[in-house]
Amino acid sequence: MRVPPSKCAYTKKTRLMDDNSIANFQSYLKEEAWDSVYNSFDVNNIFNNFHCILLRHFESNFPISYKSYRPNHNGWITKGIRISCQRRRDLYSIYRYSNSPKVNELYKKYSAILKK
């Protein structure tokens, strides 16, 4: 039996970038000896040397991270159910900070109706 594509997990490739890794990347580029770039006369050779140095430091400072995702498609959850769940969450935040019995009763009734 074939699994539908929407049910399959997939992997997303990202790079880990934060302030610390950016600062490290900049410091490594400052400390790099650029003699192979400056002392060459062939433009292609200059570019290739520059590109290799830049990629080497980029790859070492910004590692690849893989995250797997599984789409969560619940076809039975309609737009109305989603709106009602949001309304219940809003009522819960009011219910949690309120001591009013009227608000408590309203939240409990709404939850019971939504549960059915």
55-73: pLDDT as tens digits: 999 999 999 988 887 777 7
Mean pLDDT, to the nearest integer, of 11-20? 88
| Nearest to 25, CA basis, from 49, 56, 47 | 56
Mean pLDDT, to the nearest integer, of 64-86? 83
Please check whether residues 99 and 47 belong to one and the same domain: no
Q: Let me know if residue 98 belongs to a domain.
A: yes
Please check whether residues 90 and 64 belong to one and the same domain: no
Please check whether residues 87 and 108 belong to one and the same domain: yes
Q: What is the pLDDT of residue 57?
A: 93
Please check whether residues 59 and 41 belong to one and the same domain: yes
Number of domains in the chain: 2
Q: How do beta strands 64-69 and 10-15 pair?
A: antiparallel
Cα angle, residue 82 at apex, residues 115 and 91 outer, rounded to 5°: 65
Please check whether residues 96 and 48 belong to one and the same domain: no
Please check whether residues 65 and 108 belong to one and the same domain: no
**Are the CB atoms for 11 and 66 separated by under 8 Å?**
yes
Q: Is the pLDDT of residue 25 over 70?
A: yes
Please check whether residues 83 and 65 belong to one and the same domain: no
| Domain limits for position 100 | 79-115
The residue length of the chain stands at 116
Q: Let me know if residue 74 belongs to a domain.
A: no
In angstroms and rounded to an integer, the radius of gyration of the C-alpha atoms of the chain is 28
pLDDT higher at 72 or 27 = 27
Question: pTM of the predicted model, to two decimals?
Answer: 0.51
Where does the pLDDT of residue 9 fall: very low under 50, low under 70, confident under 90, or very high at 90 and above?
Answer: confident
Q: Let me know if residue 91 belongs to a domain.
A: yes
Q: Is the pLDDT of residue 6 over 60?
A: no
Please check whether residues 56 and 100 belong to one and the same domain: no
